[in-house]
Structure 1
Amino acid sequence: MIAVKQLFIYPIKSMQGIALTRAKSIDGGFEHDRILMISEPDGTFITARQYPELLKLRTVITDNQVQVSLPTNESIVINLDEFSQSNEATEVWGNHFTSHIAPIKVNQFFSQFLQKDVQLRWIGNKLSRRTKRYPDVPVSFADGYPYLLLNLASFNYLEQQCPEKLDIRQFRGNIIIDGALPFAEDGWKTIKIGELIFDIVKPCTRCVLTTINVNSAKALPNNEPLKTLSYFRTNLDGKIDFGMNMIARNHGTVSIGDKIEVLERQPAKNYIKNFPTESIKDYQPCTITFQDKKIKGNNQQTILEQLEQHHISIPNSCRAGVCGRCSVLLTKGNVKPLTQSAIKQNKHILACSCVPKGDITIE
């Protein structure tokens, strides 16, 4: 029997989640899920992608209050009734809507922790944000959709392939199921769990956040598990998928142990299978020249990883070939692309998704 194994909510985006035995669905997702978010003063969202230390912050929610505890055990209690009444412009992944700003003392607490001027924002009781593909479906501060489903069997398969020890919490799912075959969820279109009927909207495209250890807030070596996922979960657009984004047709509750009933199926998405054949004997040294700096490189790691190992920083964000921020110009030599989107026009390449084939010069 396929059933719910775990349930999680994340009251503050990018901070630690809370495990539940029963979750209530309301407008925007599970009750209390991603209702708060750290932002720039102009309303642009901030996440653990840029500030991994946010993952160390613990949250507890009671009625209309959220308690946040730092690793030092210093804490603050945040009362939702004390947020601004005005609707302030807010942005998440290009999605523009409004939210409410926390009192000065709360903003100072998080600014001190991050050593940067930030604000805490509350989505409010009346959600003004909508999903991009479903304009009638409200969503909180989640990246794009109200619910994320993870299949434990799919995670176990990934863990068997990956050289690093993983924790399913790295993928920040709301509903973790057990009893299905690995990646059976690829072929589901509509499912029923407890009192709720969910439509599976799309596979979830993954980013650098999945590479951060949830306990230490440090990045795992070699961009794992994205590197391993890229071998068998890269779609035709060059993006890496794991888990399923969902919307709910109705309100109700979901509990651990609830049976999953597949109401409608759909053709599974095609993924490029590209498991590596290289072994240690294929290791070849090379020289990477970047803005007149020469470093000793190799033909096994991405250009971005090798630059960082030599304390050379370039703009980057997703580290999965999605955002394009790490684009550089290849002026000499050849590279091996790890995703279809890694090589752009006019000799521009993505440093996070290309491996040198030999000596290269970039700028």
Structure 2
Amino acid sequence: MWLSAIYVFPLKSGAPLAVERVQVTARGLAGDRRWMVVDESGAFITGRTEPYLVRVRAEPQGEALRLDAPGMPPVLAYPVSRRETVTIWRDLVEARAACAEANAWIREVLGRPCRLVYMDEAARRPVDPAHGRPGDEVSFADAFPLLLISTASLDALNARLDVPVPMLRFRPNLVVSGTEAHAEDHWTRIRIGALEFEVVKPCVRCGFTTVMPETGTLDPRGEPLRTLATYRRGPTGGVTFGQNLIARGGGWLQTGDAVTVLA
């Protein structure tokens, strides 16, 4: 087995960056989901309610972020010193506010009141203690630092669909090849390259999987979630696809790294 693709999502719900090599930190991949859009109350906004966010391209430049979107001039978003409390699910995070220019830009893109925030190293967001250890942290990802999916799992899904979907419908960080379909469901600990990871929880999927990254609009067939629900419903009722990981140590990953199942 090997690591066949790596994706970083600098802006939560934004477009991915495909990279060949990346640093792994306690919060996940370096630069992954450190920026987020929030509404007037500070509550997080994602592609679930604003699907066009997937068309926003973001490239980290130090703590700043170069943002681009179709029909819009690019803008440089950078954090200012002011901090504010924002919410993501039930978590409260002390994030840094963004510059006025970037906030005006994202408001125009989405056509609604909103603004950008940045998670710096001083911000804290613990992983759910039911699935992590004391001290485990996560960025603005939904719940866990990393998401892994195998290409075989996607192939098995696409064999059931009239119109195949790309891997990016599922927004993984790590893609693994050379496995059986859904082999990742049975792993609890793996090594990729020189780094070890705990496989802590299946990823429960939602309507975001029906957002087409090419257009920022919803799949008119409700796929792939509709088909996934016919064969990937877990014991608690959720539809699962892929596995959430927590790194046990920092270092670097690169595509082509060997993947070994430890438990």
Does the 8 Å CA contact 2:52/2:216 hold for their aligned counterparts? yes
Aligned counterpart, 2:153: 154
Residue 170 of structure 1: aligned partner: 169
Name the structure 1 match of 2:87.
91
- Structure-1 separation of matches of 2:148 and 2:69: 28
1:210–1:225 Cα contact (<8 Å) kept: yes
In the other structure, the counterpart of 1:197 is 196
Letter in 2 for 1:58: R
Partners of 1:145 and 1:127 in 2: CA distance: 16
CA distance in 1: counterparts of 2:138 and 2:237, whole angstroms: 27
CA contact (8 A) 2:209 2:225 kept: yes
User: Matched residues in 2 for 1:196 and 1:42: separation?
Assistant: 39
2:97 matches 1:111: no
Matching of residue 209 in structure 1 with residue 208 in structure 2: yes
Report which stretch shifted further, 213-222 or 36-45: 213-222
Q: Which residue of 2 aligns with 1:131?
A: 127
Distance 1:85 1:167 in 2: 39
With the length of structure 2 as denominator, give the TM-score of the two structures.
Answer: 0.96
C-alpha separation in 2, matches of 1:148 and 1:127:
22
Q: How far apart, CA to CA, are the structure 1 residues paired with 2:19 and 2:217?
A: 26
Cα separation, 1, equivalents of 2:81 and 2:137: 20
Q: Which has the higher contact order (CA 8 A, sep 6+)?
A: 2
Q: Which residue matches 1:219?
A: 218
**Once the two structures are superposed, what CA deviation does each residue of 1:278-320 show, in whole Å capped at 9, x if it has no partner?**
xxxxxxxxxxxxxxxxxxxxxxxxxxxxxxxxxxxxxxxxxxx
Shift of 1:73: 4.5
Q: CA deviation at 1:175?
A: 0.3
CA distance in 2, matches of 1:113, 1:22: 31
1:64 — aligned with what? 63
Q: Deviations over 1:47-78 (max 9, x none)?
A: 11111111111122233332111101411012
**What is the aligned partner in structure 2 of residue 140 from structure 1?**
139
Partner of 1:358: none
In the alignment, which residue of structure 2 is the partner of 1:120?
Answer: 116
Percent identity between the two aligned chains: 30
- Give the partner amino acid of 1:129: R
Q: If you compute each CA radius of gyration, which structure gives the higher value, 1 or 2?
A: 1
Give the secondary-structure state (helix, strand or coil) at the position aligned to 1:32. coil
Amino acid in the other structure paired with 1:202: K
Query: Mean Cα displacement is larger for which, 94-103 or 175-184?
Result: 94-103
Distance in 1 (alpha carbons) for counterparts of 2:200 and 2:26: 17
Tell me if 1:26 matches 2:22.
no
Q: Secondary structure at 1:6's aligned position in 2?
A: strand
- Provide the rounded CA distance (Å) in 1 between the counterparts of 2:31 and 2:125: 16
TM-score scaled by length of structure 1: 0.70
Unaligned runs of 5+ in 1: 265-363
* Counterpart-to-counterpart distance in 1, 2:13 and 2:180: 29
The AA in structure 2 aligned to 1:97 is: V
Q: Give the distance between the partners of 2:123 and 2:85, measured in 1 at CA.
A: 13
- Residue 261 of structure 1 corresponds to which residue in structure 2? 260
Aligned twin of 1:44: 43
* 8 A Cα contact 1:15 1:56, kept in partner: yes
User: Comparing both structures, which one devotes a greater share of its residues to strand?
Assistant: 2
Code of the aligned partner of 1:55: V
Gaps of 5+ in 2: none
Amino acid at match of 1:175: L
Displacement of 1:43: 1.4
- SS of corresponding position for 1:74: strand
1:127, 1:138 within 8 Å by CA — same for their partners in 2? no
